[in-house]
Amino acid sequence: MAYLQVRDATKSFAGGTTALRGVSLDVRRGEFFTLLGPSGCGKTTLLRAIAGFNPLTSGTIAVDGIDLTSVPPHKRDIGMVFQDYAVFPHLSVFDNVAFGLKPRKVPPAEVARRVPEALEAVRLAALADRLPAAMSGGQQQRIGLARAMVINPRLLLMDEPLSNLDAKLRIELREEIRDIQQRVGIATIYVTHDQEEALAISDRICVMSNGHVEQVGTPEAIYGDPQTLFVARFVGTLNELERGPALADLLQRLDLGAADRDGVTWTIRPEDIRLVSSGAADTAALEGVVSKCTYLGREAHLHLRTPAGDLIVHVVNPSRVAVPAAGATVAVAVGREALMGFDGEGRRVA
Ligand code: ATP
């Protein structure tokens, strides 16, 4: 049985906004599970419902077989880490972390043991006596993490914990959060709108849009095998081919004519298109004119105009291959297996 079970969760706010429309989810024991989606899709509402801050309008939430739907937040034993750190500036690092233990009436000897352990886990043991005010955002967020973990929670919830940090620190701290989570083995639900962060950190990702679940899967499944057009567009870069004779001809040559229907959107990732030498008898070839070429060191992004629409092609290692310049006519081949088709409702059909 799943460790966390959310069933048919709905949430309507006074004023008429419906933030959750029948969300059901299973999170496994020890899993790093990420809620990913655009602003306003309901991620924070769902996280706060699990924490107990936002009671659901209907539906249930159970952890480890215990129904928590009507249990008040402080009795749920759930640790939460917030975007704005929420540390107390007038309390030392030690006291900030010990704070969560107070209402739980933990004996002082145990506080003296558990707080240093939690600080050790987030590499702040040496700074226990400091005040947080003089500390960096990354350090303050580690205090937040230690404070959430020190109560030995059933679940750890994190709401965009890295979004106030600069890009480099964000990458460092996300690796650290992942390491700590693996070591402690605590089931974690992490909210982000950053797809790269979600792919890097998660065991599984739940992509949400407009209050419902689009897809749940491993990072590889979400990126490589999206089940809806929304997921394919939201995670990674997506080329959408233009319907017309050139596309119909390409699909025929690739033996995909039978899978084509009116209203199907055919798509392909930029890295699944490769440059081929012009004039080669490649059944998957399309001709195009380079409208722009952006050199990025590790790769180059070619923007092409083709009879089947504008395409972006990623060329790996552009210092070693001749990358065509703007204005050049080139031929590209699209991988048959990499073409993804979605019907008018956005459901994957090929
Ligand atoms: P973000 O990344 O911007 O935080 P989100 O995916 O977390 O977005 P939510 O904060 O869960 O989205 O909001 C979902 C919807 O519910 C939005 O339309 C939002 O305006 C609305 N909403 C959230 N909290 C409240 C509230 N307390 N009262 C009324 N509407 C709310």
From first to last of its 350 residues, what are the pLDDT tens digits of the chain? 799 999 999 999 999 999 999 999 999 999 999 999 999 999 999 999 999 999 999 999 999 999 999 999 989 999 999 998 889 999 999 999 999 898 888 999 999 999 999 999 999 999 999 999 889 999 999 999 999 999 999 999 999 999 999 999 999 999 999 999 999 999 999 999 999 999 999 999 999 999 999 999 999 999 999 999 999 999 999 999 999 999 999 999 999 999 899 999 999 999 999 998 766 667 778 999 999 999 999 999 999 999 999 999 999 888 888 889 999 999 999 988 999 999 999 999 99
Question: Residues 6 or more apart from 41 whose CB is under 8 A from it?
Answer: 208, 209, 210, 211
Q: Is 193 in the pocket of ligand 1 (CB under 6 A)?
A: yes
Q: Is residue 245 part of a domain?
A: yes
Flag whether 168 is in a domain.
Answer: yes
Protein residue with its CA nearest to atom 1 in ligand 1: 39
Q: Does residue 44's CB lie within 6 angstroms of at least one atom of ligand 1?
A: yes
Distance CA 163, CA 236 (A): 19
Give the number of the atom of ligand 1 that is nearest the alpha carbon of residue 18: 16
* The pLDDT value given to residue 84: 87
- What is 299-325 written as a DSSP string? EEEEEEEETTEEEEEEEESTTTS-PPP
Q: Are 191 and 18 in contact (CB under 8 A)?
A: no
**CATH code of the domain containing 96:** 3.40.50.300
- By DSSP bridging, strand 78-81 and strand 155-159 are parallel
Residue 161 CA to ligand 1 centre (angstroms): 17
Could you tell me if 162 and 292 lie in one domain?
no
224 and 278 inside one domain? no
Q: Are residues 183 and 295 in the same domain?
A: no
Q: pLDDT value at position 320? A: 86
The answer to whether the CB of 32 falls within 8 A of the CB of 201 is yes
Residue 347 lies in a domain: no
Domain end point (choices 217, 234, 251): 234
DSSP H helices, 185-310, are 195-201, 219-224, 229-234, 245-253
Local structure of residue 242 (DSSP, 8 states): P
If asked whether residues 211 and 104 sit together in one domain, one would say yes
In whole angstroms, give the CA distance from residue 108 to residue 127.
Answer: 20
What type of residue is 321? V
Q: Would you state the pLDDT for residue 150?
A: 95
Residue 350 lies in a domain: no
How many CB atoms lie under 10 A from the CB of residue 182? 13
Is 161 a pocket residue for ligand 1 (Cβ < 6 Å)?
Answer: no
Cβ(170) – ligand 1 distance below 6 Å: no
Shared domain for 110 and 244, answered yes or no, is no
Residue 204 in domain: yes
* Residue 40, ligand 1, Cβ within 6 A: yes
State in Å: Cα 235 to ligand 1 middle: 21
Regarding the beta carbon of 215 and ligand 1, being less than 6 Å apart is answered: no
The residue whose CA is least distant from atom 7 of ligand 1 is 44
Radius of gyration of the chain (CA): 25
pLDDT at 317: 87
With respect to residue 219, please indicate whether it lies within any of the assigned structural domains: yes
Q: Are residues 158 and 276 in the same domain?
A: no
Complex-level ipTM: 0.96
264 and 216 co-located in one domain: no
Residue 44 Cα: closest atom of ligand 1: 7
Residues in the chain: 350
Sheet of 204-209, strand order: 78-81, 155-159, 188-192, 32-36, 204-209, 212-217
Domain boundary among 234, 268, 293: 234
- Ligand 1: residue of 45, 48, 194 to mutate (most ligand atoms within 8 A of CB) is 45
Distance between Cα 255 and ligand 1 center (Å)? 45
Question: Please, what sign has the CA dihedral across residues 202, 196, 300, 319?
Answer: negative
Query: Which structure tokens are listed for 221?
Result: 């499944």
Is residue 172 located within the same domain as residue 54?
yes
CA 97/CA 101 separation, integer angstroms? 8
Domain termination site, one of 199, 234, 269:
234
**Is 30 in the same domain as 113?**
yes
16 in contact with ligand 1, CB cutoff 6 A: no
Q: Strand pairing of 188-192 and 155-159? A: parallel
What is the C-alpha separation between 325 and 338, in angstroms, rounded?
Answer: 26
Give nearest CA residue, ligand 1 atom 18: 40
**How many domains does the chain contain in total?**
2
- The distance of Cα 119 from the centroid of its chain, to the nearest Å, equals 27
Could you tell me the distance, in angstroms and rounded to a whole number, from the CA of residue 157 to the centre of ligand 1? 17
Q: Give the distance (Å) from ligand 1 centre to CA of residue 45.
A: 6
And the tokens for 49?
């419902």
Give the distance (Å) from ligand 1 centre to CA of residue 18: 9
Amino acid at 169: L
Measure the CA dihedral 276/317/268/301, to 10°: -100
CATH number for the domain that contains residue 245: 2.40.50.140
Do 207 and 260 fall within a single domain?
Answer: no
Q: How far is the CA of 19 from the centre of ligand 1 (A)?
A: 6
Q: Which structural domain, as residue segments, surrounds residue 126?
A: 4-234
Residue 41 beta carbon below 6 angstroms from any ligand 1 atom? yes
Residue owning the nearest CA to atom 9 of ligand 1: 42
Q: How far is CA 239 from CA 229, 267, 274, 306, in A?
A: 11, 5, 13, 12
